[in-house]
Amino acid sequence: MLDSFINSFVDNYDLYLESLGETAAMVIYSLFFSTIIGLFLGVCLVVLRPGHIYENKVLYPILNAVINVLRSVPFIIILIAIIPITKWIVHTTIGVKGAIVPLVFYTAPYIARLIESALLEVNPGVVEAFQAMGASRRQIIWKVMLKEARPGIVLGLTIATIGLIGATAMAGVLGAGGLGDVAIRYGYQRWQPDVMYVCVIILILLVQLLQTAGNRISKKLRKH
């Protein structure tokens, strides 16, 4: 059993390395864009709510609803449904590039919610204290809310990254490649289960590594 894993790993070393690279590329690029968008939306979800620093009784419910809608569509459907948008943005729907757009569509609203809940953990009294000392709203967002929420934001991003790895496997079906794609192609279509298992083990290790790192960083940032 173990022998056959090791053999499979050695025989297909290049295949694994390449697909790991593709997975990493998809995750890193889409995480980058999703984080920027998600952070922005997450902050909006908090500061636009009633009683907060940018209270807006029109925008808040709209944003809230839009994010809920996006969050309720399964990834596989996003993948297909937004093909025209993907084409328009990156001029292709296949490969790593083609996968990034749907991955961002899927992950950004998720990150927005994770950031929102991390920001809601911040003691509103501290925001008040900074308003009382004459901080601007921008300073309150950067120097109070985002700074205080860092441990929660790191944990949220860790969760989002792991979710993203799962989603890349599905995106792989559209020819983006990656570990998930290899696992399905070899394990399911060509009936080479050992290749599938190796892929799965690599994925498990990757997830373990990320979660442990995320926990460590978050703990280091948390001073209470």
Chain residues that interact with another protein, rule: CB under 8 A: 123, 125-126, 128-136, 139, 143-144, 147-148, 150-151, 221-224
CB of 134 to another protein, least distance (A): 4
Nearer to another protein, 184 or 221 (CB): 221
- Asked if residues 184 and 128 have their Cβ atoms less than 8 Å apart, the reply is no
CA-CA distances (angstroms) from residue 177 to 33, 67, 98, 160? 20, 28, 11, 20
CB of 219 to another protein, least distance (A): 12
* Reduced 3-state DSSP string for 135-171: CCHHHHHHHHHHHHCHHHHHHHHHHHHHHHHHHHHHH
Nearer to another protein, 136 or 208 (CB): 136
Residue 219: left if φ>0, alpha if ψ -120 to 50, beta else—which one? alpha
CB of 119 to another protein, least distance (A): 13
Which residues neighbour 148 within 8 Å (Cβ) at sequence distance 6 or greater?
122, 123, 126
Nearer to another protein, 143 or 190 (CB): 143
CB of 126 to another protein, least distance (A): 5
Nearer to another protein, 84 or 125 (CB): 125
Nearer to another protein, 91 or 223 (CB): 223
State both tokens at 44. Answer: 């909006």
- CA torsion 6-7-13-15 (nearest 10°) is -110
- Nearest one of 158, 182, 23 to 103, comparing CA atoms: 23
CB of 160 to another protein, least distance (A): 21
